[in-house]
Structure formats: structure tokens, C-alpha cells
Copies of this chain bind each other. A is one copy, B any other.
Amino acid sequence: MVDKNVYFFGNGKADGHGKMKDLLGGKGAGLAEMTNSGVAVPAGFTITTEVCDSFYKNNKTLSAQLDAEVNANIKNLEATMGMKFGDAVNPLLVSVRSGARESMPGMMDTVLNLGINDQVVEALIRKTNNPRFAWDSYRRFIQMFSDVAMDVSKHLFEEALTEAKHALAEKTGRDKKEVKDTDLSADDLKQLVNIYKSIYKIAKGEEFPQDPMTQLWASIKAVFNSWNNERAIVYRQKYQIKGLLGTAVNVQAMVFGNMGDSSATGVCFSRNPANGENMFYGEFLINAQGEDVVAGIRTPQKISLESSKEWAQSNGVEESERVAKFPSLEELMPEAYAALIAYKVSLETHYRDMQDMEFTIQEGKLYMLQTRNAKRTGFAAIKCAVDMFKEGNLSEAEAVGRVNADQLNEVLRPIFDRKDKVKAASEGRSIAKGLNAGPGAACGQVYFSAADCVEAVEKRKEDVILVRIETTPEDIKGMIVAKGILTALGGATSHAAVVARQLGTVCVAGCGKIHVDYAKKEMSVGDKVIKQGEFLSIDGFTGEVIIGRIKTIPSEILQVLIEKTLPESESELYQEYALLMSWADKIRTLTIRTNADQPDQAEIARLFGAEGIGLCRTEHMFFGGDRIKAVREMILASDTAGRQKALDKLLPMQIEDFFGIFEAMQGFPVTIRLLDPPLHEFLPHQDAEVSELAKELNVSFEVLKAKVNSLHEFNPMLGHRGCRLGITYPEIYDMQFRAIILAAIKIKKNGKDIVPEIMIPLVGDVKEYTILRDNAVTIIKDELAKANVTMDYKIGTMIEVPRAALTSGAIASEAEFFSFGTNDLTQMTCGFSRDDSGSFLGEYVEKGIYDEDPFQVLDQVGVGALMRLSIKDGKAARPDLKIGICGEHGGEPKTVIFCHEIGLNYVSCSPFRVPIARLAAAHAVLKNK
């Protein structure tokens, strides 16, 4: 028998403390911590988890000792609150809640408003002057208590409620379906209480218990019983919650903000969650319950005088009217206000973070109901973290830890003017919502083909939005010039989304509601038709598609960093961003590289802090200028000689490509991936396009069409691509090997340093690698000898086919580096085509089969297991193996942390994700300290 079964909290002091989660449960420990930190939470007490354990061990009985302890604690609670259980003047009501060590939301039972009875309800009416509220509380309590504690089916009560509404409908001549709970008057509810009580009596054979202690004991037992209800058991199995004694029971005084004009309720933030300014921010309502503040029926008032005045000014409210109708809490209840301000400071200091607080003032006394770290925008997160460091409340590392890496996105993207957007919505111009695939705001004239986009931009200097059913590499020129990309199909890692993120272009993808008609050059949503050349705005933060123009503003950080239109000294945001990133860089150990195919992308990535290129995709280069012609010539060649002729045309262009990239990266390592996509991606597929190309190439339509058909694949993802092209058409890769080394030689001859890294894609067996590696070495040695230059270079491989991961030992004994291509590795490991899985992945995430879309957040359980295996075998074969990741996941914070934990050397991501990866890499170190 333990000495103490019940832990009191209240009046600034708790028997327990925040670390006693095993004994008091999560909620009980939290209430104790808040109380101890001086926060006036409504007082109460926690019955320990040990009692739950002993309850089950003793055939569901409770001890006499517990009886005595609970009685003593109720006395203490009454004294602390200045109220009494069942009192006719100042009645104490309590909530009875479960709370195990691990949170199991909604799985166990709760009883609210316990202590209410026929006498107390009258007292409540007197105190609140709100009979409707009082009777409704009583009604709800009867139903909840009967259901939870006494096993009376709640359906019986719900039927009675429905009958009452039907009666009201008949009486008022309204349609039955239209009558709502809120239409019932105080009298209606009073009548309903009587009916409820008789339902109870019929079910249980006795009167509804009026004694609060009877109510309390029944509820405590009910909570203990609910520990082993079916839902809770299933939940614990599902989330593998094991080794718990049971649940604690928290009995806490209820407080009411609707007990007259000296009562109030409100929500507040310790700083502005939108921009991070250190300004107290919040709203309240006099004589109201919590839900009234957010319900929008009454206009909430501002808490501080300053913000109240500001509000009045921007809403055109005269000062006299403001004082009369919308005074601040500061004016109305200066004491409560002062207490709140004090809490704001002490809670921020205690939790060392911006707080989001709920409070209730009951008859002049302030109670804090809840405080938690505030959700905030990226802007606010940065400012708050830097300010709190400057205020001396956070260390650099802690400040870094306070900013969610993903939120950096927000501060880098162009944004819509908020008011303009609200206006558009009110005009019904917000017509659809897709996937927020490329953050930012874009507005422009709509075009439905890459060529039309290019023409509009080049000839008419228009801002354009490219709208496609889906995009392919052929659309790249249009995507480059477009302000925004909108597609009807495709997910977060569809071609459109991937390219958009890399380009930093706004993108809304997979917007299923839009119907695109290429022939008519128009799109439609329902009966709304948008024709080519009309304006459209797309919000890459939210996925919204809006007809017409919305004003956009470029990100301040970009103005400083990239566009250089704003001096650093004039942007506080930039200075804060730069400071925060400098701290992150000091902490992190992962190198951050970028995925970039063009010198300008590489330059931007450098400005964002990239330390090299982890993935330079060479296929994108094949679409530039007139190259596609030579590429097509190569594909259509019927023999090696013909292919070689076309490749000879491409060689000087590829040398220039690589030279540009090497130069932009200023000596940082550059990993170049050889040609990866299947050749049919470089040919048109529609008859009209084929016909046009046939004319251009001076071959017959039939010949070209036959070639296109012969290259068709049922599952191109798993087809003739990557190093398989290099094996079957060695001359293609040979050209690329030669271009890489010749570009590097040129850099070297210009007196600069470069270590080119050649990456062979889609390797599944070490022999594929060695065949191609040997070809590369022969060419490189040849060119270096010819140029009389010596140079270090590396040859390595992507690990993107499961078989490569499974045979990593053999591969690592030959390859100098690994780079996980987690896009393809995810596709093949999970068996999900990223282009097709949209039709079911949503439901998969909804049903909890996957926690998140595995194309957005790396699947650590499956794909991650394969990566661990690969790293283990790879490092065993070559201890100094350099390992990175260059899939789209490389810029996703959770994945960055995972990559740090499994021992990668670097992550590589699109340029605009580099700062995010830098921050996440710092978080990884902090998390694993």
C-alpha cells in the first residue's frame, strides 16, 4: 500500500511536478508543472495511475484510504476555489478527466460540469443570469454522466432531444429539419432535464443522483473502467503503447467566463504570430464562454489598449464608440490584465517560446486554462527566435531549434497581397484548389502550351501562367519562362512539381477540378471558362486558383539576396534570417548541396549557401536551344555511325554546359548524372507533332511514327533508361564522359580548381557500373593525356534501384561514392508510380497506412531500411565511401534529420530548399545531442 494516492494542485503549488508522468499521467504532470510555475490554473487533484492498477487488481474496487484522500482533497479544492460542492450560492463544479502517461486522445471517458443538481442549477442561473446556459449545462451533464458512468445509452437522451425539437417545430410551424439545438429556449431545456431524469430513473430504477460525491465516485470509476474499453485497447495495440500501469484521473474545478460582467474569456499570444513582433496580441469577450470567442457571433474585443485603438482606427470606429462598446481588457479589468501580462512574461520565460494561451476570468479572478507553444508563420518564427536570443532567453542553438525548417519556405516566396485575395474570394473568383506544389504567389495570362508561353513572354513581355493537364520534359522552355505552373494531374513529385521547385517557380499541381481543352485553348471549372490570354492567379502556399489578377509582392529575402534590389541594411527580416542561418551552419555537420542543371540555378543555390552540386541532370540540357534537334537525330539514327554523327554535334554544347556549371560552383564539387530518361521522352507522341517533326527532320511520317511506337513502353519507369542506355548505346555516355572531362580541363587551364564527379544512374548490378566506369576511365585518361593535364575526379553511382541497395557491398568495392536517388528508390521499394499513385495515396495517408506521402517525406520504415542496409554493406566494403542523397527528399526536414542519423555525408536539394536543409541539418545535430 502506497502512502499517497492523490496529488493536489492549486494556489501556485502542486504536490507533484512536471516529470511525474508515469504516476500522474501526461495531463496531471502538466497541470502540476503549470501550477508550480505560478500559473493560476483552476485547482484540482490527480488520482495516480497506481490506483488504476490496484483498481484492476482488486476486482474493480477502490480502497478506504483513497476514499479518505479524495475527501480531503475535495475539502482543499473547495477552500482554494472559495466554492462548495452542491452549494446553493457558490457551487463548485468539476471536470473528471482521464490521463495516461501517453496521450490517447478521445479513447477514454470524460465528465464535465460534475456537481450540478436541481439546487446547483438555480445557483448557476443566479450567477450567470443565463437560465438557458444553466439548464443546457445540466441537460448535458445528465446525458454525459448517464452514458459514461452509469451505462445508460445516450441514444435514449438523443431521441428525447429530437422529440423536443420536433415539438418546437410543430408549435412554431417550422420544418422539423430546420430546428436546431440552439433554438430550444431555457424553458424547453428545463423540461428536457425533467424528461432526462425520468429516462435515467426508468433505466436505472432510481432517481438521478443529486449528491455530488456520488456523482464523483461513479465518474472516477468510469474513467478507470474506460482504460480497458475496446477502443483504448485497440489504440494501445495500434500505437504500440506498452508498459503503462493505467490511467490517472484528474478532478479539476470548472471555471466560467459567463458569470456576469466581472467574468470574461479570451485567447492571446505572447507575441504576434503573424510577424513575430513582441507585442501582446489577443481577444476576449465579457460574460462569455470560450467557444463564443471563436464563434464569430459577437465581435471580440482587443486585450491591450494600444491594439484596441489600432483596431478601432482601421475599422473606422470612433473612440467614444470604442470605449462604450469595445473597450480593451486593459481598461475594463486592469488587475486581470496585469496578471495576464505577468503570465505572458513568465510563461514565455518558463517554456522559452512564444505562447498561445486560453484564459477565463471568473468573477474578476483570472484562470489560465491552457498555454502552449504558439503556431506562427515563418516570418514570426524567425523574428521571435532571434529576438528571444537577443533578449537573453535563448541560446543560439535553442533559437535555431525554435524555427521549423519547412517554414523558411514562406519567407522566400513571392506572396499575394492579402486584402486583394480576400476581395477576390468574396467575389467568387476563387474557383478551385490543387496541391500546393511550388510555394509562392503567381499571377499572369494563361497559356496552354510551352510554345505559346515562350511567344507571349518573348514577343509581348507578358507574365504567363502555363496550364497543362500534366507537364513533360518537352514543356521545359515554357516552365522556365512562366511565373506559375498549373496542372490538372500529378502529385507533389510529379514532373511539374519537381521542376517548379527546382526553378523556384510557383506551382499548383493535380488540380482535378480544372478541365483543360488544348484544342479550344481554354480551361474550365464547372461553367467558368478561362480562355488563353486571360488572367489567372495561383497561390502555391495554399493551392488556390483564382480568376483574374491578384497583386504579388516578392519576398524580402530574395530582394536582398538574389535580386539585389534591397540593401541588406534595410531589411530586418534578411538580417534575422542571415543571423539564424549562420548559427545553423555552426551547428550542422551534414554538407548541403544543390540539384542544379544550369549555371543560373547553381548561382542562386550558392547564394542560398549550397556547398556543391549533388545532382546535375544532363537531360534538361538536351532541350535547350537547337539541341533537341541533334538529340532527335541521334535517337532516329539507325546505326552507331549515325548516332555518333549526331553526338558529335552535341559534344561542344555539352562541354559549354558543364563549363558553365563548373564555373558557377567556384571550385565546389559538382556531381553530374549521365543521361537518365528513356529516349522516347525526347520525341513527340501526338500525330500532329510527329508529322511536324517528320517534316523538320525530312523523314516520312510513317518512319518517325514507327520509331516513336517502337520506343513506347508500358512501364517507362522500369524501362530502357539510365545506365541501361549507356550499356546498349555506349556512344551516348562516351560523349558525356568526354564533355565532362574536357569542360573540367578548360576550367583547370583557366587556373581554377574543379573535382568533377561522374554519377551513373539506375545501376542495379556492379557489372553495369564497372563496364561504364571502365569506358569513362579510358576516355578521361585519353583526354587528360592529350591535354597534358592531371586532375582528380570521382566516379560513383546512384542507389535508386532496390537491387543496388541489396548488393551495395559489391558496388561499393568499385564505386567511389553513392548517392541515394530516393524518388526512384521510393517508387520501386513501395511499388508506387509517382505519376499514378495520386489515385490512392491520399486515402492511404488518411487511413494511416502511411503517415505521410512517401514522395514528400521519406518512408523511413521501408525505403529507410533499405538505405541503412546499403550504407552498412557499402561502408563495410569501402570505409571511406562518400554517401549522399539527391532525391526530392533531400530538402525535406524530417528526411534531412534521418539522413544525418544514418550517417550520410551530404544532402542535395533544389536551390530554394538549401536554406531549409541547412536549418534541418542543424536540427538533426540538436536532436541527437
Contact = CB atoms under 8 A, between A and B. Distances in A.
A831 B840 contact: no
Given A714-B716, A807-B865, A829-B828, A847 B765 contact: no
Contacts of A715: 715-718, 827, 833, 835-836
Contacts of A764: 830-831, 862
A55 interface: no
A829 B847 contact: no
A810 B833 CA distance: 24
Contacts of A717: 714-715, 717-718, 831, 833
A708 B331 CA distance: 67
A831 B807 contact: no
Contacts of A517: none
Nearest to A724: B840
Interface in A704-742: 713-720, 724, 727-728
Interface string A849-882: 1100000000101110110000000000000000
A40 interface: no
Contacts of A765: 849-850, 861-862
Contacts of A392: none
A824 to B, nearest CB: 7
A540 interface: no
A843 interface: yes
B771 A727 contact: no
A218 interface: no
A828 B861 CA distance: 17
A728 B716 CA distance: 25
Contacts of A824: 831
A438 interface: no
A806 interface: yes
Nearest to A765: B849
A121 to B, nearest CB: 45
Interface size class of A (residues with CB under 8 A): 35 or more
A839 interface: yes
A311 to B, nearest CB: 48
Contact of A806 (B771, B837, B849, B865): B865
A762 interface: yes
Contacts of A713: 833, 835-836
A718 B831 contact: yes
A771 B843 CA distance: 13
A727 B844 contact: yes
Given A713-B833, A830-B801, A849-B767, A720 B839 contact: yes
B866 A806 contact: yes
A836 B718 contact: yes
A839 to B, nearest CB: 5
Contact of A718 (B762, B800, B832): B832
B762 A849 contact: no
A16 interface: no
A629 to B, nearest CB: 24
Contacts of A828: 718, 802, 828-829, 831
Contact of A803 (B727, B767, B839, B862): B862
A768 interface: yes
Interface of A: 713-720, 724, 727-728, 762, 764-765, 767-768, 771, 800-803, 806-807, 824, 827-833, 835-837, 839-840, 843-844, 847-850, 859, 861-863, 865-866
Given A715-B836, A802-B866, A803-B829, 20 more contacts: A714-B836, A715-B715, A717-B831, A718-B827, A718-B831, A718-B836, A718-B837, A719-B833, A728-B839, A764-B830, A765-B850, A771-B847, A801-B830, A802-B830, A803-B831, A803-B859, A806-B865, A807-B865, A824-B831, A828-B828
17 contacts: A715-B718, A715-B827, A715-B836, A717-B718, A718-B831, A719-B833, A720-B839, A727-B843, A727-B849, A768-B849, A802-B802, A802-B866, A803-B859, A806-B829, A806-B865, A807-B862, A828-B828
Query: Which 10 A-B pairs have CB atoms at the shortest separation, nearest pair first?
Result: A718-B833, A715-B833, A803-B862, A719-B836, A801-B831, A714-B835, A713-B836, A715-B717, A767-B849, A715-B715
